[in-house]
Structure 1
Amino acid sequence: MRKPVFFIALIGLAVLVTLLVAEPDFAQLRLWRDQAADWRAGHPVAAILGFAAVYIAVTALSLPFAVWLTLLGAAVFGFWTGLVVISFASSIGALLAFLVARYLMRDWVRAKVGGRMAAIERGVARDGAFYLFSLRLIPVVPFFVINLAFGLTGMRAARFYGVSQIGMLPGTAAYVAAGAQLGQLESLSDIVSPGLIAAFVAIGVFPWIARWVLALIARRRAYRGHQRPATFDRNLIVIGAGAAGLVAAYVAAQAKARVTLVEAERMGGDCLNTGCVPSKALIASARAVGAAKAARELGVEVETRVDFPRVMARLREVIAAIEPNDSVERYEGLGVEVIKGYARLVDPWVVEVNGQRLNARSIVLATGAAPLMPPIPGLDRVGALTSDTLWDYLAGCEVAPARMLIVGGGPIGCEIAQALARLGSGVVLVEAGDRLLPREEPEVSEAVAEALRADGVEVLTGLSAEAFSDEGGRKVRLSNGREIGFDAVLVAIGRKARLEGYGLEELGIPTGRVIETNDYLQTVMPHIFAAGDAVGPMQLTNAAGHQGWIAAANALAAPFWRFKAHAAPIPAAVFTTPEVARVGLTQAEAEAQGIAHEVVDYPLSHLDRAIAEGETGGFVRILTRAGSDRILGVTVLGAHAAEVLAEFTLAMRHGMGLGKILATPHIYPSWSEAAKNSAGRWRQGHVNPRLLRLAERFMAWRRG
């Protein structure tokens, strides 16, 4: 424990020195230059060694004076001598800071962060030198942070020093050039000298040049050993016909590009066949049961009987009605070449399908995701269902399963639990976390859990499934020792990206939990893009579709134009009753990121349309930047939440604040008024009392 305390003491000393030492002005800098020049004239070697020692100490202690010392050293020693002294001194100081962090902090940090540090070290071992070189050339974070952070990794000290020496040299040269010009200043009017202006222009332009050089180096490294074809048969190949792939192919076809879409299974992917569409069809039938039971409060008596085979037949009819939108026939009609088969990249520009090799200028990987199956003992013996296989099981049922166990309290688990309970199942929902829907506001989790219990679902939070057994009937043992019998179990704990079998590892395209991409959805090979669930971070159909058009647009327009993937806010909804919809940040996320914010809540019990329909439960919660009407995030809980949220998403996408929503006429009475009324509540909390008093006096004066 002594080492971390000593390290913290050093940091405290550095902070104290920073606070005590005032930043020099031009006159002070010129005085130091003159004094140092006089000392150098009489003691040339001692001056160089003394300056280097001070520079090394400042860098090693991470003091924020390195820029001033660089300018001063260049002014005293001139460009070439200054460059040599400062370049070596800064690298030696960085190495000392690196070693201090390694000796005093690495073991303690590793003990605290555990496996997370191992993942970081694997990345450094794989590409650490190039990553460090990039940070040195384009310092997106302060150098002292880089020194300390790399000291915690396993990078060898010699490599750290060598890369730092080379990587910091161009930037150091730009600052030394500016300092050498400062050495010639005799008055403030000399600041506009061409040499000094050129030096500072070099400082401003250098990061852009360095960024271009790094991109060129990265491309050469990625394509090493591969020969780019002189011509291409296609503009784009899209692998995967889910939401991301379909949108990418559509965008390319509309742009009159020659595009090939490859799909191994069913067009439409998970959303159409096993996800959004069948689940919402099931939920619609379940909501009809819920509405019938609630009709008594509206003065209507309704008898209900669930015809489960008919429910499932209707589900298949819904899929069939939507299916043509995603069909091979439609896309071929748009001009897309559709090939059924498994695709594998055998070269950066070549994809093999069914033994046939296709080449294209760009490729979009839209390989999707598959349900996660946890390694719980006995799970493989009880016929565990996933969101992919649930529908075939339900299609064979004459009635809703009598005893349904659902593991996972996320959106899928909550939606299916409530729907099946309303349709007649006995449902037990088990969530290992302390609440359902852990990414949502706590009040949302509580409201959904209460609604599920009201529909007959047994909700168990803070418990995990420890073992399954099929002896004497299917059952599960929970972490509290309780055993629960069931007829069927649905595992809904999340989904993992499909990464295997596409040739990515052989080409050196990095994958971890997902395919790694930059802000423009490019992989390490800039002409290969990835989109959708295989990329994340949100595994949603609308997010996948958005990424699909971004990937296709960037692939087709490169290098003339490109779009960032994360510029647009992505809304999400959970279609339970009450419905949940959110875009942007929750309170917990804003606090974790240290963003100053304000919160306004508008209860739906104050909305006239909600009162008229007997749907007064829920609220609209808006997070704004402190002192501003700019929206950071919105959560809606209640009937029609997804539709209410749309207006807020539009406002966030186009930078409009709550004032714009408040100034827009809305239909009365309507659910859309929830957006306007909540904006009005925000406005009420930001009225200046002084202006109100002035208005009161003005109106009194107008009355005479």
Structure 2
Amino acid sequence: MNRKKLVLIAIIALLVGLFIVFDGHQLLTLANLQAHQASLAQWIADNTLAAVGGFVLIYIAATALSLPGAAVLTLAGGAFFGNLLGLAAASVASTAGASLAFLAARFLFRDTLRQRYAETVRRMDRGIEKDGAFYLATLRLVPVFPFFLINLAMGLTGMKLRTYALVSWLAMLPGTFVYVNAGTQLAQIETLGDIVSPGVLGAFVLLGVFPLVAKFALGFVRRRRVYRGFQRPQQFDYNLVVIGGGSAGLVSAYIAAAVKAKVALIERDRMGGDCLNTGCVPSKALIKSAKAADTMRHADRYGLDSVPVQGSFANIMARVKRVIAQVEPHDSPERYRKLGVDCIAGSAEFVSPWEVAVTHHDGRRQILTARSIIIATGGRPAMPPIPGLERMEPLTSDTLWSLTEQPKRLVVLGGGPIGSELAQAFQRLGSQVIQLEQGDRLLAKEDPEVAELVQRQFERDGIDLRLRHRALEFAEEDGERVVYCGREGADNPEERVRIGFDRVLVAVGRSGNTRGLNLEALGIEPERNGTVPVEDDLSVRFPNVFACGDVAGPYQFTHAAAHQAWYASVNALFGQFRRFRVEYRVMPWVTFTGPEVARVGLSETEAQAQGVAYEVTRYGIDDLDRAIAESEDHGFIKVLTPPGKDRILGAVVVGQHAGEILAEFTLAMKHGLGLNKILGTIHPYPTWNEAAKYAAGEWKRAHAPQLVLRLLEKLHRWRRGKPGNAASTAVESQQL
């Protein structure tokens, strides 16, 4: 940090320190203002110019230094100078002080921010250049955030000073007038009876109503502004058009049809989306085959003879396709047409916020109009830009289901949930899997102890797990496919690890599907990962355009897509009356490795990062009778609660049937039930879900009231009688 910045920081610290030392926070209060009102009024009347000048300087200093008391100063402007002069002084001073705070934040922090987060700053500046003035005006008119935060935050952007000052002055002017006017009425309060005078009551009503009126007016202006350049149809073909027939799109269309709206569902490929065709359903079918192979290979755990696993990989994949076909009718066009949904096969692109152009598979083009449109186009596997990778015909979670021949040596890129599930499945089915992960552990979003338990099982399964390995280049040498990796922590940074393989599976994340939607026609710019930026109500820039599922993020799970779809469809159909904000507080997920990893709420790592106070309750599944009976006695449950309370902040289950066990904790979190309620619930014996009850029992044991227990112990001893009396009573009983 250069000398000029240090000097400015020192000056600010000195002024703030003086403010604290001389009890400035006590001076800038309404009570102090009223206490000294009479004594100041005469002096101000005799020295108006000096008084106004001093008032402006104090106001500028308070605003520039982000000190508390700006609202009281604005009231003081009305109380001492009246409406006209008070408004002029307060509005000029507040704008000047805000501009100084804006410049200070820019001078101190913007360069550092730009160096560390260059791409983020560039995107932020593009947005500010496009819509910054409007959003600044919105924040000033409806003070959702304190003004000092707006001053500092805007200073970090590329907004020009003159734009910032002019917009701030104009947007703060109505609110400043309301406060100044209230101050003129406060100056008239001498007795309690004055409080109910029409003038004072009117000022307070205006003070309370202004944010609501401003919010309504801004909403109207925003709607007019965002739709500028588009012609709204006089009538509509549909109440709702849904683009995409995956989990999010299907649920959206189902809800709309259930409430008798006219809805169209457009799908360019296969109904059911990733979950049915390339994701949840086929992967779980493959994992089940792999688990069966592992059971046969280790049948001696159950008192049987272990047998070598023999089978046709083509038969396994044929079973996967049969499973898909069996589930497919649940998501079929026929079923949804019976529900009242117009299912259309084709590609869709936006023409306007109310119009979608559909290109049918036969080449026919059709324009559909709808009051609301939902984007539910899902996601696709991300492909990293590694030299030579494309020539290796890489497999992804989308394409591997066309395999009929099992790879002998399979390289898996990625140690996340998808990569880990498929790596273990292929290893258990007989491939030699080499799993490459750049980080220092698998499942980076889980706690280290969770990842360690899964990693130990992977090593027992025979997976060649290469942590801290980053794929640098793919090549074909002497008829063999190879990948060269950099290894973090190697003695020689230039050393490259050579690994031979037959096929490579890429599982390094997913991107949102927005190609071909013509979002640029609506001025919608996708994020770097392909997802579209959504508001809390899942709208995308326009109040009638929504997104849900993988294309919206932040969670790319089937159940998250269905959860979002409810909010998107309800807001799309009834948003003119009321809008619901999507809520992610209780979002469970499961990684279907062996052992399974299931989590809801905060992990311990996240709690530490967020500074959340917590305590941990653990229960080892090796103690569970059902687990012991099935020779699956490994894993644990970990529950986070606030210190001394049984409210669940988060829970993770690692082990067999973890996903099913987690459901009880998810239900408890959703409905505000604590561990005491779980403990008080009857669980049939012997079941896996008893583990949840025993975990609750561990919490109860750790929080048993020790003082009460000691008193009870004394009570029971007293009720048994003194040791001497007890002994003599026993002797007498024997004699009788």
Is the pair's TM-score, using the shorter chain for normalization, greater than 0.5?
yes
1:454-489 C-alpha deviation (Å, 9 max, x unpaired): 111111111110000023211100013011111000
After TM superposition, give the deviation of residue 547 of structure 1 in Å: 1.2
1:442 aligns with 2:448: yes
Aligned to 1:673: 690
Match of 1:501 among 491, 516, 534: 516
After TM superposition, give the deviation of residue 339 of structure 1 in Å: 0.7
**How far, CA to CA, are the matches of 2:11 and 2:331 in structure 1?**
62
1:635-692 C-alpha deviation (Å, 9 max, x unpaired): 1111100001111111222222222222221112211111122122222233333333
Report 1:33-44 matches (<5 A).
33-44=37-48
Q: Which moved more, 1:130-139 or 1:490-499?
A: 130-139
Q: How many residues in Structure 1 have an aligned counterpart in Structure 2?
A: 700
**How far, CA to CA, are the matches of 1:602 and 1:173 in structure 2?**
61
**How far, CA to CA, are the matches of 2:200 and 2:94 in structure 1?**
23
**How far, CA to CA, are the matches of 1:538 and 1:197 in structure 2?**
49
1:62-110 C-alpha deviation (Å, 9 max, x unpaired): 1112122222222111223212211110011000111122223322332
Amino acid at match of 1:322: V
1:181 aligns with 2:188: no
- Identical aligned pairs, as a percentage? 52
Q: Is the 8 A contact 1:59 1:144 kept in 2?
A: yes
Report 1:483-498 matches (<5 A).
483-498=498-513
Q: Is the 8 A contact 1:6 1:104 kept in 2?
A: no
1:333 aligns with 2:343: no
1:482 aligns with 2:497: yes
Q: Is the 8 A contact 2:585 2:601 kept in 1?
A: no
Amino acid at match of 2:351: V
Amino acid at match of 2:70: A
Aligned to 2:476: 470
After TM superposition, give the deviation of residue 453 of structure 1 in Å: 1.2
Structure 1: gaps (5+ residues): none
Match of 2:114 among 107, 110, 113: 110
Q: Is the 8 A contact 1:219 1:524 kept in 2?
A: no
**How far, CA to CA, are the matches of 2:681 and 2:194 in structure 1?**
56
After TM superposition, give the deviation of residue 218 of structure 1 in Å: 1.8
Structure 2: gaps (5+ residues): 360-364, 488-495, 722-736
Change (3 A) 1:226 1:703: farther
Report 1:271-282 matches (<5 A).
271-282=275-286
Match of 1:683 among 694, 700, 708: 700
Match of 1:217 among 218, 221, 224: 221
Q: Is the 8 A contact 1:376 1:467 kept in 2?
A: yes
Amino acid at match of 1:502: L
Aligned to 1:657: 674
Change (3 A) 1:662 1:336: same
Aligned to 2:588: 571
Amino acid at match of 2:143: P
Q: Is the 8 A contact 2:247 2:561 kept in 1?
A: yes
After TM superposition, give the deviation of residue 194 of structure 1 in Å: 4.4
**How far, CA to CA, are the matches of 2:192 and 2:18 in structure 1?**
29
Aligned to 1:319: 324
After TM superposition, give the deviation of residue 189 of structure 1 in Å: 5.5
**How far, CA to CA, are the matches of 2:607 and 2:197 in structure 1?**
47
1:78 aligns with 2:82: yes
Change (3 A) 1:487 1:175: same
1:639 aligns with 2:660: no
**How far, CA to CA, are the matches of 1:507 and 1:173 in structure 2?**
37
Aligned to 2:626: 609
1:23 aligns with 2:26: yes
1:358 aligns with 2:368: yes
1:412 aligns with 2:413: no
After TM superposition, give the deviation of residue 424 of structure 1 in Å: 0.3
Report 1:48-67 matches (<5 A).
48-67=52-71
Change (3 A) 1:46 1:444: same
Q: Is the 8 A contact 1:3 1:104 kept in 2?
A: no
After TM superposition, give the deviation of residue 305 of structure 1 in Å: 2.1
Q: Is the 8 A contact 1:18 1:64 kept in 2?
A: no
Aligned to 2:731: none
After TM superposition, give the deviation of residue 703 of structure 1 in Å: 6.0
Q: Is the 8 A contact 1:98 1:150 kept in 2?
A: yes
1:299 aligns with 2:312: no
**How far, CA to CA, are the matches of 1:115 and 1:7 in structure 2?**
28
Amino acid at match of 2:92: F
Aligned to 2:230: 226
**How far, CA to CA, are the matches of 1:377 and 1:52 in structure 2?**
63
Match of 2:162 among 158, 165, 180: 158
Aligned to 2:389: 379
Q: Is the 8 A contact 1:510 1:524 kept in 2?
A: no
Aligned to 2:265: 261
**How far, CA to CA, are the matches of 2:75 and 2:623 in structure 1?**
64
**How far, CA to CA, are the matches of 1:139 and 1:627 in structure 2?**
37
Q: Is the 8 A contact 1:10 1:61 kept in 2?
A: no
For normalisation by structure 2, the TM-score amounts to 0.91
Secondary structure of 1:200's aligned partner: helix
Q: Is the 8 A contact 1:372 1:495 kept in 2?
A: yes
Q: Which moved more, 1:251-260 or 1:176-185?
A: 176-185
Indicate the structure (1 or 2) with the bigger Cα radius of gyration. 2
Q: Which moved more, 1:425-434 or 1:558-567?
A: 558-567
**How far, CA to CA, are the matches of 2:671 and 2:216 in structure 1?**
30
1:623 aligns with 2:623: no
Aligned to 2:728: none
**How far, CA to CA, are the matches of 1:615 and 1:427 in structure 2?**
24
Change (3 A) 1:357 1:114: closer
Change (3 A) 1:141 1:595: farther
**How far, CA to CA, are the matches of 1:203 and 1:611 in structure 2?**
67
After TM superposition, give the deviation of residue 152 of structure 1 in Å: 2.0
Q: Which moved more, 1:612-621 or 1:182-191?
A: 182-191
After TM superposition, give the deviation of residue 363 of structure 1 in Å: 0.8
Secondary structure of 1:421's aligned partner: helix
Secondary structure of 1:440's aligned partner: coil
After TM superposition, give the deviation of residue 193 of structure 1 in Å: 4.2
After TM superposition, give the deviation of residue 58 of structure 1 in Å: 1.1
**How far, CA to CA, are the matches of 2:720 and 2:73 in structure 1?**
69
**How far, CA to CA, are the matches of 1:494 and 1:26 in structure 2?**
56
**How far, CA to CA, are the matches of 1:652 and 1:489 in structure 2?**
40
Q: Is the 8 A contact 1:349 1:359 kept in 2?
A: yes
**How far, CA to CA, are the matches of 2:465 and 2:144 in structure 1?**
47
After TM superposition, give the deviation of residue 599 of structure 1 in Å: 2.0
**How far, CA to CA, are the matches of 2:84 and 2:703 in structure 1?**
59
**How far, CA to CA, are the matches of 1:365 and 1:320 in structure 2?**
26
After TM superposition, give the deviation of residue 279 of structure 1 in Å: 0.6
After TM superposition, give the deviation of residue 693 of structure 1 in Å: 3.6
**How far, CA to CA, are the matches of 1:7 and 1:497 in structure 2?**
45
Amino acid at match of 2:682: P
**How far, CA to CA, are the matches of 2:127 and 2:199 in structure 1?**
42
